Amino acid sequence: MDSRSQIPSVVNLRDETVVFPVPLLPSSVDFNPPEGNDEVHNPIDVNLEPLVVDAEGPDTVDEVVPLRRSQRIHRLAISNDYMGLTPYEKKKYVWKMLYIYMLGYDVDFGHMEAVSLISAPKYPEKQVGYIVTSCLLNENHDFLRLAINTVRNDIIGRNETFQCLALTMVGNIGGREFAESLAADVQKLLISSSYRPLVRKKAALCLLRLYRKNPDVVNIDGWSDQMAQLLDERDLGVLTSSVSLLVALVSNNHEAYWSCLPKCVRVLERLARNQDIPQEYTYYGIPSPWLQVKTMRALQYFPTIEDPNTRRSLFEVLQRILMGTDVVKNVNKNNAAHAVLFEALALVMHLDAEKEMMSQCVALLGKFISVREPNIRYLGLENMTRMLMVADVQDIIKRHQAQIITSLKDPDISIRRRALDLLYGMCDVSNAKDIVEELLQYLSTAEFAMREELSLKAAILGKSLPRLVLLIDKAGDFVSDDIWFRVVQFVTNNEDLQPYAAAKAREYLDKPAIHETMVKVSSYLLGEFSHLLARRPGSSPKEIFNIIHEKLPTVSTSTIPILLSTYAKILMHTQPPDPELQNQIWAIFNKYESCIDAEIQQRAVEYFALSRKGAALMDILAEMPKFPERQSALIKKAEDAEIDTAEQSAIKLRAQQQTSNALVVTDQCYANGPPPIVPAVGPLTLVKVPSMSGRAYCSGPALTQSNGTLTKVDSQPPSDLLGDLLGPLAIEGPPGAAVQSEHSAVTEVEGAKCSGCCSYCTSWRTDKFCSDSGVLYEDPYIQIGIKAEWQAQHGHLVLFLGNKNTSPLDSVQALILPPAHLKMELSLVPEIIPPRAQVQCPLEVLNLHPSRDVAVLDFSYKFGTNMVNVKLRLPAVLNKFLQPIPVSAEEFFPQWRSLSGPPLKLQEVVRGVRPLPLEEMANLFNSFRLMICPGLDPNPNNLVASATFYSESTRAMLCLIRIETDPADRTQLRMTVASGDPALTFELKEFIKEQLVSIPTAPRGPTTAPPAPPVVQPTSPAMALTDPGAMLAGIQFLVSLGWTVKWIVPLEIIAWKVLKSEEQYWHSFS
């Protein structure tokens, strides 16, 4: 046998071969031999018959094909006279390689021969070269570099057939080197009117592929005018390809293509009126449905349409689409018509059309969800769920609630899921009870694949304890820990429910068999609140212990720690101590002191030691405090389950530009003023707030507010890094834009001006002064949260650095820039944060002396090639070192009298304060850690507060504050601050003044004229003589108008007489 046949036949290069969606053997392939003296062949015979016959035999894979292939291809590959082969023979052997590849074998030979055919002068060989190269080589193959010049020559040449071949291959491969070398030539080819539409259409699709693969390489600067010209094309093929390119361009930057918006509307008008539409582009009577869908998709990337004529024309087209679509028997026509219709619905929602059109859309969807065709019902439910983003139509959607509930019983699980999503989204106060009851009833019959999602959403919507407990009882195996955490949080935060919850827990434990999750929640509730049942029969501590202890042998190791905690709590609540019960519980603790599980062993040892301390046990095992109002981990879990990881689409952008239902109030930068005042809600209350709205928040490259600093970044909706207190940490963030470059991400702490974001700046300050946990900073890749504890002059902070991305963050650095009055020590920060991971960095703070200066965290990290650096203000501020302390009149007035005059006692009239009711102002002072002391001031319009300030220099220093308000003018007040340290008095006075003045006010419209002076309301003589606030307001108004002293002096004398009755009470102690 020839030695050449001994070479191995197959080499695995599957990682280098990629199948591309091109026609491998199109009908236009020329099988005829070229001109010359070659042997005449049958038109369908390219010498593949032996391989086809072998493939049909019994030994194809094992023997015949590899042998034949190795023999023939090897002779071709190493033959000394290969260069002497005719073009037809070269083409024939390359076709054989493609056929072998089609059989599923890895072709690791002949690549150079396929690439060399691209440079052939004639069409048959060149066509084979392009097709086989597109199939066998991927974008990273080295051989493609050899063909770049040939491909470019074909693109810029005058042979349109060669141009089409080259554009097709480049569009299918789409490598970076192709984009760098050929993108400019493809752009010229597209905008040139001297080529046929076939060539320009291929050029548009080729450029689209190059831009999608390498958006940073393809230069599209100044392309808005060219795209606008392309939208005037009369050929629908070129127009459709151009609109596809436009969709990709505007998805990344719609600002540069505003000139294309009216052109897109004209395209829709042309299609809607069926003007100049060739027959080949009409599908079942619908003019080019693909072009209609693409055009409406492009319009959804623009936030709004300002021109009234363009907007009116577009709404006329959309109205015609809505009115002209109905369900017919022809499936193909239905598919095309509904594709256009649902894209029109999405565009109507995006543009916030009139309520009449919205109602018409809902009515049309209501018709769809009641038809027999399952696909149409699915689309109707899905689009009705999207319509929930429009607040005006939610009441109309509720009219179809019965039909939606009926869809929960549909045989198709996809329809049932969409119905569940729709019910979850449309639930509010008016229908929550009915929907939750339906979900609980459906829970017992739902299949296992839906029970977890169903129980999760029912728990979020269920606002009453009986429904939540019933949910745990019915869906035990599908109830996650987050759900029973929610029950605990709900009961802990509502004192009125605690006796009822304890009684229900006692009732469920009486059942002979209950789910382990019910054992967890019942044991926890009885441990915390069983003492509330002490007077009820059968609810003594010993009886409750016995009924809980009966469940101990049946539970897993994850539940035993909860039971041990319950035993310790029961022991604490047993007063006077019961020796028999005490010995029983101690015996259980002793039993588990040697448990192999570390958590159980630790609890048993610690509880046994604590229970022997007697009275100290009451302080250590006191009742759990109320949970802070924050976003529940259940809601995060429901959101994470619906995260769309697909390519960014207009639906996502629309969701960022619309007002949606949210379950938590988030801090954002509002473009049109401060956020609305939302009343305090419970942990289970649904609240409608603006979320991710381009109209409500600062978006784009404008300055945005993050922790009091100004950052030039795209607005991103923050999520709660710390999560629920008992829930898992959720650091999954929404998909966002790329990381900003270093020059745009570096922020300024001092001297920066916040335009349009002032209300948010102050809301950040107030929020961080009042709370000890929250999110300091967030971008698409990292979230920095903080949690703090304060004790006297010491502070313990923990920074939570969460990587939200699937790639690690490198070069992480954190530097604390403390002011002179703080001593701060940050633990070591790792240089790399792994993907989807969180690190905790403790920070110790020591207050040396009073000051209002703020510490700064200089944080930087590297993602890819981008370096991000931000400077964040830390909430280690003056009021954190205050301790509220109640002071009686016997303690207050001697101290107040001893601090006589500046610098120990400072007084100032503060103007520009937001008018607040006295009760709200008192709550505000409490949030500043200042204790309101009622009854010390005889005037009910005044406030008196006290606190102790801690620092290394002053140790514990008593601070006294008096606030005198004016009932006639709540925008001003007089404040007096006194303490034994002059620096503390001044700093505390300025701190309170900053907070009162910086409270966000209602948004005001732009005005060019200066504000008019306040108008003095007429008062009756009796009121003027008895109301000191009215008299002071009159005096200050006269001063503001420039009255001289000689006119004011008589008024001051009168004012003094009026105020004497109030002031003499305080002046007697000065």
Does the annotation flag 94 for ligand binding? yes
Tokens found for residue 65: 């094909």
Tell me whether residue 939 is exposed, middle or buried, using C-beta atoms within 10 angstroms of its C-beta: 0 to 12, 13 to 18, 19 or more.
middle
Distance CA 321, CA 271 (A): 11
Which residue reads 């045989």 in tokens? Answer: 411
Does the annotation flag 281 for ligand binding? no
Does the annotation flag 95 for ligand binding? yes
C-alpha to C-alpha distances, 242 to 202, 214, 234, 254, 317, nearest whole angstrom: 10, 18, 12, 16, 21
- Please choose, from the candidates 910, 911, 888, 1029, the residue with its C-alpha nearest in 3D space to the C-alpha of residue 960: 888
Does the annotation flag 474 for ligand binding? no
Residues 6+ apart with CB under 8 A from 1001: 674, 759, 914
Distance CA 732, CA 422 (A): 24
Tell me whether residue 335 is exposed, middle or buried, using C-beta atoms within 10 angstroms of its C-beta: 0 to 12, 13 to 18, 19 or more.
middle
C-alpha to C-alpha distances, 772 to 727, 767, 840, 843, 992, nearest whole angstrom: 19, 9, 16, 14, 18
Does the annotation flag 500 for ligand binding? no
DSSP secondary structure letter of residue 174? -
Cα distance between the two ends of the chain:
121
Does the annotation flag 607 for ligand binding? no
Tokens found for residue 755: 């335009």
DSSP secondary structure letter of residue 844? E
* CA-atom Rg of the chain in angstroms: 38
Distance CA 477, CA 484 (A): 12
Residues 6+ apart with CB under 8 A from 193: none
User: Side-chain half-sphere of 852: how many Cα atoms within 13 Å?
Assistant: 14
Residues 6+ apart with CB under 8 A from 558: none
If one counts every other C-beta atom within 10 angstroms of the C-beta of residue 293, the result is 19
DSSP secondary structure letter of residue 833? B
Distance CA 111, CA 134 (A): 11
Measured in degrees and rounded to the nearest 5, phi and psi for residue 974 equal -115, 130
Residues 6+ apart with CB under 8 A from 370: 377, 403
Tokens found for residue 997: 């003045």
DSSP H helical ranges for 326-475: 331-351, 355-368, 374-387, 394-397, 401-407, 413-426, 432-443, 448-461, 465-474
Distance CA 186, CA 203 (A): 6
Q: Where do the DSSP E strands lie in 94-155?
A: none
If one counts every other C-beta atom within 10 angstroms of the C-beta of residue 653, the result is 19
If one counts every other C-beta atom within 10 angstroms of the C-beta of residue 97, the result is 22
User: Side-chain half-sphere of 645: how many Cα atoms within 13 Å?
Assistant: 5
- Please choose, from the candidates 718, 701, 702, the residue with its C-alpha nearest in 3D space to the C-alpha of residue 804: 718
If one counts every other C-beta atom within 10 angstroms of the C-beta of residue 879, the result is 21
- Please choose, from the candidates 549, 542, 609, 551, the residue with its C-alpha nearest in 3D space to the C-alpha of residue 571: 542
Residues 6+ apart with CB under 8 A from 908: 974, 975, 989, 993
If one counts every other C-beta atom within 10 angstroms of the C-beta of residue 275, the result is 9
Which residue reads 């291809």 in tokens? Answer: 73
Distance CA 310, CA 317 (A): 11
Among positive and negative, which fits the CA dihedral 386, 388, 389, 391?
positive
Q: Which residues are annotated as a binding site?
A: 88, 92-96
